[in-house]
């Protein structure tokens, strides 16, 4: 995804004579490398003779933030719609015994179906150009996601009360296909951001955290505005489609921006040999091991977070009836809204404070392992399980403070890890390091979701 000006044309930004090509993809042009921008200049001369353009109005930053929001939109939209799936579509009152297991472990099933294809396609996208060049990967991925959301809306319209099993498996299949596309989309976006200054990777992570807050607010608003689960779900998923359409459109605005074009030109020149024709062979093993300390940090932050959120976190109930949050809003506020708001604030904080430095980041990351038993000793009551483990944290305020610290640290430390990882390797390998970071992010999410299956068994010992 880049921009070029044909050698027989003058730059439209200088002459105003010809329009800019709207494809952000260098690869799609199939041109010799001597037709890149800054033709005839060495990199040293280019850097000395040109003042790097600025990201005017932070447009590129905002575009990557929007794409970060889009990369987690499918996941957040489905998990935040838990009540729609569990209490409406798969409710045990449907007079079908098979629906009981579906609604009792729906989030675990959803996480499993989401993250396996996401994990596989994230890793494959590093080594294989799935879907072609970068433009095709993103365009096809977003289009497939739009189709799947359309199917989800149709399922919401239909009355599936007499076929909950069919509804469940169609939903799971839709989730699998959705996350196959999203794995490619997410991995590619992080690879693109890795070639820009470090705060642009932070923008993607910030957008991903805003995605959860956005989904929660839309879910709460739709449930208040519309009286039925069906109607609220329809407009809820339509909102997700609108966000993805914005991501689709803004991607093609990138080549119009001088700041983005400048950095793409530098990346392109770094990624070819002196003969200007033979691509650099990427030493994947070397890149992985150089970035490994930060890759571990990314993995462990998301492992701990997804081990407790949302499956465990959303099953924690109030201990007292006089708590100021009504029971029907307790989970929405103390779980989904709290996590997404403070994860976003944690991610945003890295724009001003980047501490600790890369060498010591593993210390606070490792300390987050304490959240696993802490949430277990709250009033965690998984559906269909008779708890025997003593409840040690009975105060709702203490539980809420723990939830806030877990959420803020998740957004803050994950952003630092994602920002640090590409900078541990030479510039020409930063795209690959960014893709490794995205793959480790998904690996941590998947491992955490698998571990969350064990929590209902921990409380019956």
The residue with greater pLDDT, 134 or 200, is 200
Measured in whole angstroms, how far is the alpha carbon of residue 50 from the centre of its chain? Answer: 35
Domains along the sequence of the chain with CATH: 56-91+101-256 (1.20.1250.20), 284-460 (1.20.1250)
Residues 6+ positions from 198 with CB-CB distance below 8 Å? 419, 420, 422, 423
- Which range among 4-8, 52-56, 97-101, 150-154 has the greatest average pLDDT? 150-154
Instruction: Give me the pLDDT at residue 393, please.
Output: 95
Confidence of residue 103 (pLDDT cuts 50, 70, 90): low
Confidence of residue 354 (pLDDT cuts 50, 70, 90): very high
pTM value is 0.76
The residue with greater pLDDT, 299 or 78, is 299
Q: Are 170 and 90 in contact (CB under 8 A)?
A: no
Distance CA 374, CA 106 (A): 23
Residue 380 gets which letter from DSSP? B
Least confident of 119-133, 377-391, 395-409: 119-133
**pLDDT tens, residue by residue, 3-43:** 444 444 444 444 455 554 555 554 555 555 444 444 545 55
Please report, for the chain, how many H helices and E strands are present, in that order.
20, 0
Distance CA 288, CA 295 (A): 8
Structure tokens at 444: 């941590």
The residue with greater pLDDT, 133 or 421, is 421
Distance CA 113, CA 75 (A): 11
Q: What is the mean pLDDT of the chain?
A: 84
Kindly report whether the peptide bond that precedes residue 310 is cis, defined as omega within 30 degrees of 0: yes
Instruction: Give me the pLDDT at residue 14, please.
Output: 46
Confidence of residue 70 (pLDDT cuts 50, 70, 90): very high
The residue with greater pLDDT, 373 or 461, is 373
Structure tokens at 176: 């699998």
Instruction: Give me the pLDDT at residue 42, please.
Output: 52
**pLDDT tens, residue by residue, 160-214:** 888 988 999 999 999 999 988 988 899 889 988 888 888 899 899 999 889 988 8
3 state SS of 272: strand
**pLDDT tens, residue by residue, 408-459:** 999 999 999 999 999 999 988 988 999 999 999 989 989 998 899 899 999 9
Distance CA 318, CA 337 (A): 16
Confidence of residue 379 (pLDDT cuts 50, 70, 90): very high
Distance CA 194, CA 192 (A): 5
Instruction: Give me the pLDDT at residue 50, please.
Output: 56
CA distances from 67 to 142, 272, 292, 389 (A): 11, 28, 25, 43
Instruction: Give me the pLDDT at residue 30, please.
Output: 53
Instruction: Give me the pLDDT at residue 273, please.
Output: 46
Instruction: Give me the pLDDT at residue 203, please.
Output: 92
Distance CA 72, CA 81 (A): 14
Residue 272: what are its φ and ψ, rounded to 5°?
Answer: -125, 155
**pLDDT tens, residue by residue, 278-318:** 555 889 999 999 999 999 999 999 999 999 998 899 999 99
């Amino acid at each position: 995804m880049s921009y070029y000006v044909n050698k027989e044309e003058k730059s439209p930004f200088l002459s105003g004579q010809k329009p800019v090509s709207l494809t952000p993809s260098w690869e799609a042009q199939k041109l010799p490398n001597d037709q890149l921008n800054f033709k005839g200049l060495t990199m040293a001369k280019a850097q000395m003779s040109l003042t790097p353009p600025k990201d005017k109005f932070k447009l590129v930053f905002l575009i990557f933030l929007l794409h970060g929001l889009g990369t987690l939109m499918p996941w957040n939209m489905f998990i935040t719609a838990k009540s729609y799936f569990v209490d409406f579509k798969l409710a045990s009152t449907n007079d079908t015994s098979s629906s009981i297991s579906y609604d009792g472990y729906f989030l675990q099933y959803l996480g499993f179906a989401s993250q396996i294809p996401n994990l596989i396609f994230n890793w494959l996208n590093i080594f294989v150009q799935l879907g072609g060049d970068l433009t095709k990967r993103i365009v096809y991925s977003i289009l497939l996601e739009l189709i799947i959301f359309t199917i989800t809306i149709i399922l919401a319209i239909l009355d599936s009360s007499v076929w909950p099993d069919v509804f469940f498996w169609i939903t799971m299949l839709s989730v699998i296909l959705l996350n196959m596309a999203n794995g490619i989309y997410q991995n590619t976006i992080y690879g693109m951001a890795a070639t820009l200054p470090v705060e642009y990777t932070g923008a993607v992570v910030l957008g991903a955290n805003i995605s959860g807050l956005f989904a929660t607010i839309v879910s709460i608003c739709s449930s208040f505005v519309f009286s039925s689960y069906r109607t609220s779900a329809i407009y809820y998923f339509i909102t997700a489609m609108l966000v993805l359409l914005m991501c689709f459109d803004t991607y093609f605005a990138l080549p119009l921006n001088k700041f983005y074009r400048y950095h793409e030109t530098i990346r392109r020149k770094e990624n070819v040999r002196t003969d200007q024709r033979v691509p650099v062979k990427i030493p994947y093993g070397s890149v992985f091991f150089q970035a490994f300390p930060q890759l571990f940090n990314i993995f462990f932050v998301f492992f701990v977070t997804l081990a407790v959120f949302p499956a465990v976190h959303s099953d924690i109930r109030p201990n007292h009836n006089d708590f100021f949050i009504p029971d029907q809003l307790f989970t929405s506020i103390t779980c989904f809204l709290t996590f997404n708001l403070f994860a976003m604030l944690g991610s945003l904080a890295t724009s001003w404070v980047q501490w600790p430095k890369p060498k010591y980041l593993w210390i606070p990351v490792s300390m987050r392992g304490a959240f696993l038993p802490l949430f277990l000793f709250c009033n965690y009551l998984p559906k269909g399980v008779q708890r025997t483990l003593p409840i040690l944290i009975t105060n709702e305020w203490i539980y809420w403070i723990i939830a806030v610290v877990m959420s803020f640290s998740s957004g803050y430390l994950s952003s630092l890890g994602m920002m640090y990882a590409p900078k541990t390797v030479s510039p020409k390998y930063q795209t690959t390091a960014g893709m490794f970071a995205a793959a480790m992010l998904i690996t941590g999410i998947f491992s955490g979701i698998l571990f969350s299956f064990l929590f209902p068994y921990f409380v019956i010992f």
